[in-house]
Amino acid sequence: MREAAKEYTWNLNYGGIALMWRGGCIIRSVFLGKIREAFDRNPDLTNLLLDPYFTDKVVNAQDGWRRVLSAAIQNGIPVPALTTALSYFDGYRCERLPANLLQAQRDYFGAHTYERIDKPRGEFFHTNWTGRGGDTASSTYNV
Architecture per CATH, 98-127: Up-down Bundle (1.20)
Tell me: pLDDT of 109 over 70.
yes
Residues 6+ apart with CB under 8 A from 125: 113, 114, 115, 116, 119
Length, in residues, of the chain: 143
> Once rounded to an integer, what is the mean pLDDT over residues 24-31?
62
Tell me: pLDDT of 19 over 60.
no
Tell me: pLDDT of 12 over 80.
no
| Average of per-residue pLDDT values in the chain | 81
Strands of the chain (E only): list them. 114-115, 124-125
List phi, psi (to 5°) of 114: -155, 160
- With 0-12 / 13-18 / 19 or more C-beta atoms within 10 angstroms meaning exposed / middle / buried, residue 42 is exposed
- Predicted local distance difference test score (pLDDT) of residue 135: 59
Instruction: List pLDDT tens digits, range 41-55.
Output: 887 778 889 999 999
The least confident of 9-23, 67-81, 93-107 is 9-23
CA atoms 128, 134, 139, 141: torsion sign:
negative
What single DSSP character describes residue 124?
A: E
> Once rounded to an integer, what is the mean pLDDT over residues 123-141?
69
Domain range list for the chain: 1-42, 46-95, 98-127
CA dist., res. 109 & res. 141, Å (int): 13
Instruction: List pLDDT tens digits, range 71-101.
Output: 999 999 999 999 999 999 998 888 777 777 7
Tell me: pLDDT of 143 over 50.
no
